[in-house]
């Protein structure tokens, strides 16, 4: 996975930071030190395709807020209680449905180099007696930085040294070579977002093919990493059920299901302002022309009967091949849970407790 950076900016406040020097030397693009980022942001916003321009523009800077953030869920749907490690923003891959196109203003790559602050926050977390689940794949892809930075070389051993928290690295890449030799102690979960060949080819530009992602997962399994898989967004189209079955067939024929910590499901949903971005940037995409209705969180969602039918079919296939793997929904209500899995999260102590228990079993956590 290459970043393909055309413009590299260094915030003057971190110009002397060791991680800045390391990243800049690896990236190789001419670097410009700046005291004010506002002209950079304005240049991106003024571009013909700001999102594309932002994918080739990298800013090395400091995270001036908290590195640890709560997942931006909503009270109307069951949230997993995952916590974000905010190590960077945006992504060099180009998925039509990506919310980051409208989430960041401007949409541009930031990488935060003030790792001492990150370590300090984690040190405080690791004093807690509670099981905690963290991931870096909410505001960026977890592995696009692998060739150019020390972030995972810092995080994986850091999590390995404690016993009550797990780190999840979520990706659509196969940038795993650096992961082989880390002493991860089972505390880092490597996870992949998967979809059908059709959706990968039509909606996920510059990502790795399905077969390559599953092969990468099998390698990480061989290195002792726990695994997870996310089918989100599931896209409804004619013939989608059989095509998703083909994905599951490939997955379960390659991966030992005992090594899967969890599988998440979530259908395509989007804030209304994303529709115009998709229409402008992905003129051939049909993804926003399904049968949608506004949900309680104001996101456009497939009609519930359509979501329910797809979930019921997919869960039947998953449970037939992997009956002991924890399957959960990302941002769905109790009715969906009850009609597909036969229970609600509250029946089992809450979704967070369910995920914590699975992490405990697969990642050797202790209270």
Predicted local confidence at residue 75, as pLDDT: 65
In a domain, 12, yes or no: no
Q: What average pLDDT does the segment 2-27 reach?
A: 95
In a domain, 37, yes or no: no
The CATH number of residue 308's host domain is 3.80.30.30
pLDDT digits (tens, 9 = 90+) for 172-196: 999 999 999 999 999 999 999 999 9
In a domain, 86, yes or no: yes
The pTM (predicted TM-score) of the whole model is 0.96
Q: Within a 10 A sphere around the Cβ of 170, how many other Cβ atoms?
A: 20
pLDDT of residue 122 exceeding 90, the answer is: yes
The Cα–Cα gap between 310 and 236 comes to 8
In a domain, 186, yes or no: yes
pLDDT digits (tens, 9 = 90+) for 70-101: 877 666 667 777 899 999 999 999 999 999 99
Q: How many domains does the chain have?
A: 1
In a domain, 265, yes or no: yes
In a domain, 187, yes or no: yes
Peptide bond into 233 cis (omega under 30): yes
CA-CA distances (angstroms) from residue 66 to 54, 70, 104, 263? 23, 10, 17, 28
In a domain, 101, yes or no: yes
In a domain, 98, yes or no: yes
Domain that holds residue 292: 64-105+115-363
State how far Cα 203 lies from the chain centre. Answer: 16
């Amino acid at each position: 996975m290459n970043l393909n950076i055309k413009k590299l900016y260094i915030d003057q406040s971190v110009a002397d930071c060791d991680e800045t020097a390391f990243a800049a030397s690896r990236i190789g693009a001419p670097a410009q030190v700046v005291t004010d980022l506002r002209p950079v942001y304005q240049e991106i916003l003024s571009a013909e395709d700001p999102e594309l321009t932002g994918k080739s523009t990298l800013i090395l800077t400091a995270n001036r807020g908290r590195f640890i953030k709560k997942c931006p869920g909503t009270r109307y749907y069951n949230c997993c209680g995952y916590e974000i490690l905010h190590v960077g923003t945006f992504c060099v891959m180009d998925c039509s449905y990506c919310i980051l196109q409208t989430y960041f203003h401007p949409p541009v790559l930031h990488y935060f180099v003030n790792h001492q602050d990150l370590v300090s926050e984690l040190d405080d977390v690791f004093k807690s007696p509670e099981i905690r689940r963290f991931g870096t794949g909410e505001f960026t892809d977890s592995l696009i930085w692998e060739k150019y930075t020390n972030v995972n070389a810092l995080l994986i051993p850091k999590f390995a040294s404690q016993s009550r928290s797990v780190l999840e690295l979520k990706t659509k890449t196969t940038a795993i070579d650096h992961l082989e030799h880390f002493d991860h102690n089972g505390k880092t979960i490597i996870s992949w977002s998967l979809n059908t060949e059709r959706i990968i080819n039509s909606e996920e530009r510059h990502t790795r093919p399905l077969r390559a992602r599953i092969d990468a997962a099998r390698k990480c399994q061989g290195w002792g990493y726990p695994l997870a898989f996310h089918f989100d967004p599931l896209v409804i189209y004619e013939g989608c059920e059989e095509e998703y079955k083909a994905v599951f067939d490939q997955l379960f024929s390659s991966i030992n299901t005992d090594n899967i910590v969890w599988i998440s499901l979530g259908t395509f949903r989007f804030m209304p302002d994303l529709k115009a971005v998709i229409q402008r940037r992905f003129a051939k995409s049909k993804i926003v022309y399904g049968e949608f209705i506004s949900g309680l969180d104001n996101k456009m969602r497939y009609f519930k009967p359509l979501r329910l039918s797809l979930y019921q079919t997919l869960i039947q296939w998953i449970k037939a091949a992997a009956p002991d793997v924890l399957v959960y929904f990302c941002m769905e209500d109790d009715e969906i849970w009850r009609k597909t899995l036969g229970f609600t999260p509250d029946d089992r102590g809450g979704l967070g407790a369910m995920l914590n228990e699975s992490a405990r079993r697969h990642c050797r956590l202790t209270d």
